[in-house]
Amino acid sequence: MRLTVTDTAASSSKGSPAEKTPKRGFFGRIMLFIRQVLAELGKVVTPTRRELVRFTITVLIFVIIMMLLVTALDLVFGRSAVWVFGDS
């Protein structure tokens, strides 16, 4: 498919979103923000008790694994520092 000059000009002249929306004042922007926040809050879905328990257990297991990893690294680096610099 060959593009002609009119095809490329039409596809490149989409314009920016700022050109399509009207200028709003300070309070208009605040009201728009509040409307958008309320619209997003309307989309929030509260998890069921089963989902909440599953999410909590998943987070606790992840935290325990990370604690074990950090503890192991701390022990390894601590012992290697004692080995390199000696016991004082």
Say whether pLDDT at 47 is over 80: yes
Q: Give the confidence band of 54 by pLDDT, cuts at 50, 70, 90.
A: very high
Say whether pLDDT at 58 is over 90: yes
Give rounded-to-5 percent helix, strand, coil for the chain.
75, 0, 25
Domain ranges within the chain, ordered by starting residue:
47-88
Predicted model pTM: 0.53
Average pLDDT over residues 1-17: 54
Say whether pLDDT at 32 is over 90: yes
What is the C-alpha separation between 79 and 43, in angstroms, rounded?
52
